């Protein structure tokens, strides 16, 4: 053994390691907050798109179809909003995972991140909603 291996760590090194660990934790928490903001945005877009679709579907049922010029426009707008919200959240979740990998956080530690799990669930709901509006199937 050399003298370097036997030398106890000095106070400056210990403090620097502690600050580095705290900085990594702050970065992880900031990434979680960013992903939660994307979740809120995606839920708003998916919900607003679905609401537009259902509102105008109800309006079409109540009035004659011949009186509406572009009957498919609300459906297309609703599907676009659902698709954009779902795609944006999927990309944000992927970017979140890449960021955590880049800063050196272990994958095992963040596999069960609540915000990541919620993001995946919302992406699945968005896909189901998009398919339901597109194919006009389901309880919609």
Residue 92 placed within a domain: yes
- Statement: residue 118 has pLDDT above 90: yes
Residue 68 CA: distances (Å) to CA of 4, 50, 71, 127, 131: 82, 20, 6, 28, 24
Q: pLDDT digits over 15-68, tens only?
A: 888 888 888 888 889 999 999 999 999 999 999 998 998 888 787 777 765 566
Q: How many domains does the chain have?
A: 1
Residue 106 placed within a domain: yes
Residue 95 placed within a domain: yes
Q: 44: domain range? A: 32-135
Residue 1 placed within a domain: no
Any residues with CB less than 8 A from the CB of 102 and at least 6 apart, and which? none
Residue 11 placed within a domain: no
- pTM of the predicted protein model: 0.77
Confidence of residue 139 (pLDDT cuts 50, 70, 90): low
Supply the pLDDT for residue 106.
Answer: 53
């Amino acid at each position: 053994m050399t003298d370097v291996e036997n030398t106890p760590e000095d106070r400056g090194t210990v403090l620097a390691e502690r600050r580095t660990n705290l900085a990594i934790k702050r970065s992880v928490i900031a990434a979680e907050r960013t992903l939660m903001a994307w979740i809120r945005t995606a839920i708003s877009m998916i919900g607003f798109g679905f609401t537009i679709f259902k509102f105008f579907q109800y309006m079409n049922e109540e009035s004659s179809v011949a009186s509406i010029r572009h009957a498919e426009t609300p459906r297309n707008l609703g599907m676009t909003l659902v698709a954009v919200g779902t795609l944006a959240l999927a990309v944000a979740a992927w970017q979140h995972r890449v960021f955590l990998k880049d800063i050196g956080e272990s994958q095992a530690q963040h596999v069960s991140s609540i915000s990541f799990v919620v993001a995946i669930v919302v992406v699945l709901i968005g896909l189901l909603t998009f398919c339901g509006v597109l194919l006009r199937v389901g309880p919609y």
